[in-house]
Amino acid sequence: TLYREKNRARFHFSPKRGWNNDPNGLVYYNGEYHLFFQHNPYGTEWGNMHWGHAVSKDLVHWREIGEALYPDSYGTMFSGSAVVDKNNTSGMGDGSDPPMVLFYTAEGSWVQGLAYSTDGRKFKKAETPVVPKITDGNRDPKVIWHEPSQKWVMVLYVELEGKQHSMYFLTSSNLKDWETTDVVKGGTDSDTYLFECPEFYELQVEGKPGVKKWILTGANSEYAIGTFDGEKFTPESERLNGQHGRDFYAAQTFNNEPKGRRIEMGWWRTKTTGHGNNFNQSMSIPMEIKLLETEEGLKIARQPVEELKKLRKKHHVFENRQLRDGESFLLKKIKDDFLEIHTRFSSITSEQIIFSIKGVDVIYNVKDETLSIDGVDMHLPLTNNQLELTLYVDRTGIELFANKGVYFMPVNINVDSNNKDIGIKVKGGSLRTESEVYQLRSIWR
Ligand code: FRU
């Protein structure tokens, strides 16, 4: 039955049926978070792009409410974003509620279109596109309000001559007439720095009130940090690695977040085909992004949003204990597949730590400070000879957070429901370990 299918993630959004890829139009509007998404309503593979639509009051429980945008004579509906036009600069409001305005790409004609709504349910497209084609394949408009200049800013992916990836910056005072003000170049061809799905936002450096920076990312989460004067983005550090997994793509953040947080969700490419399932793919959990001062300079850091704590049910605590060389410690046998785990290893003299979760090995090699899951590796330095990990485990994989969230590693791997063991194995020395495990509820009713 619906939402109980094999390999259906239990606390990650996935469509009732059909395929999803990128999150689109993430916005908070009239008391609800809106999650639009690239959707093929007619099949479990990519194609026939529509904008699917789901709403949530808490970022955790989503209700899918049908397609928001359908293909039209300009093409199918590729990725884009949404804003709330509080001052009705577009004139599309009905006099009482400010309009929600969506920006999308019409695939094929490569124009950027606009659609608006005053109830968050029904969407009406503007008759003509608002941005003409720049080059073939230009796409994925991200629109934000820039307070200091009192203007709207659009960042748009454009492929220049020689397969040069770039992000165009455009500005507008009414969301309809747009003017190009800047072009920022990324990688070329298969070097996907600043390729597709731009995201652009300002963050205050943690602990430094008044010090703010702008972050520009492409679909693969590589990012630049810099300054922005309302027209031109000037990178100060380029090509920072935003994530270390293999399955997280096209992430976007919410406009108009009521608490002023920067909250992100990405497409999580899960292995959900087969078993007669008539849905495929999912989104990541929502995460809050902060900008941290680290030893290697400014870095973005992600943490699961606090609302996810609502899903906690049973709690297990495993107090500090010493594990010697060759020792294994079975924390627990847990039947549930949906877990939030916090674990800390300290006084480490061992060469290797293997943390096994229901058959999935999270392996940490102390000498070269690398962590690997299912063949995905990342460099993860110890701090004060300690390693602290937070893991969210769903049927479709693991999202791992370390070092205050500066290291984020999502890995899609179908977790074996029949394997109940959660344990730690230590090789080549000893360590101390303590953990906490929460069993989580499903977000589906
Ligand atoms: C990224 C992407 C976007 C495009 C959409 C089409 O995954 O290729 O650039 O708009 O998917 O579904």
Q: Active-site residue numbers?
A: 22
Instruction: Determine the average pLDDT of the residues in 154-170.
Output: 98
CB 394 within 8 A of CB 417: no
Nearest to 280 by CA among 46, 37, 2, 23: 46
Q: Give distance in angstroms: CA of 37 to centre of ligand 1.
A: 10
Q: Give distance in angstroms: CA of 339 to centre of ligand 1.
A: 31
Q: Report the distance separating Cα 262 and Cα 84, nearest Å.
A: 16
Q: Report the distance separating Cα 148 and Cα 403, nearest Å.
A: 34
CB within 6 Å of ligand 1 — which residues?
21-22, 38, 49, 78-79, 105, 139-140, 196-197, 219, 249-250
Ligand 1 pocket test: which of 76, 139, 220, 283 has the largest number of ligand atoms within 8 Å of its C-beta? 139
pLDDT for 95: 84
pLDDT for 275: 85
Query: Which atom of ligand 1 is closest in space to residue 78's alpha carbon?
Result: 10
- The third-level CATH classification (topology) of the domain covering 308-440 is Jelly Rolls (2.60.120)
Residue 109, exposed/middle/buried by CB under 10 A (0-12, 13-18, 19+)?
A: middle
CB 343 within 8 A of CB 434: yes
Q: Give distance in angstroms: CA of 137 to centre of ligand 1.
A: 10
pLDDT for 1: 87
Pair of tokens at residue 310? 């609502």
For CATH 2.115.10.20, list the domain ranges present in the chain: 18-304
Sign of CA dihedral 301, 304, 306, 312: negative
Q: Using the predicted structure, report yes or no on whether residue 435 has a pLDDT greater than 90.
A: yes
Mean pLDDT score of the chain: 96
Q: Give distance in angstroms: CA of 49 to centre of ligand 1.
A: 9
Q: What is the pLDDT of residues 39-54, one digit of tens each?
A: 999 999 999 999 999 9
Q: Using the predicted structure, report yes or no on whether residue 445 has a pLDDT greater than 80.
A: no
Q: What is the pLDDT of residues 175-220, one digit of tens each?
A: 999 999 999 999 999 999 999 999 999 999 999 999 999 999 999 9
Q: What is the pLDDT of residues 3-24, one digit of tens each?
A: 999 889 999 999 999 999 999 9
* Residue 143 CA: distances (Å) to CA of 284, 307, 385: 22, 26, 43
pLDDT for 441: 96
Q: Using the predicted structure, report yes or no on whether residue 81 has a pLDDT greater than 90.
A: yes
Ligand 1 pocket test: which of 107, 197, 221 has the largest number of ligand atoms within 8 Å of its C-beta? 197
Residue nearest to atom 8 of ligand 1 (CA): 196
* Residue 377 CA: distances (Å) to CA of 187, 362, 373: 23, 10, 7
Q: Report the distance separating Cα 324 and Cα 174, nearest Å.
A: 66
Nearest to 99 by CA among 107, 110, 91: 91
For CATH 2.60.120.560, list the domain ranges present in the chain: 308-440
CATH of domain 18-304: 2.115.10.20
Q: Report the distance separating Cα 112 and Cα 176, nearest Å.
A: 10
Residue 143: beta bridge partners? 154
Nearest to 398 by CA among 229, 309, 268, 264: 268
* Per-residue pLDDT band at 162 (split at 50, 70, 90): very high
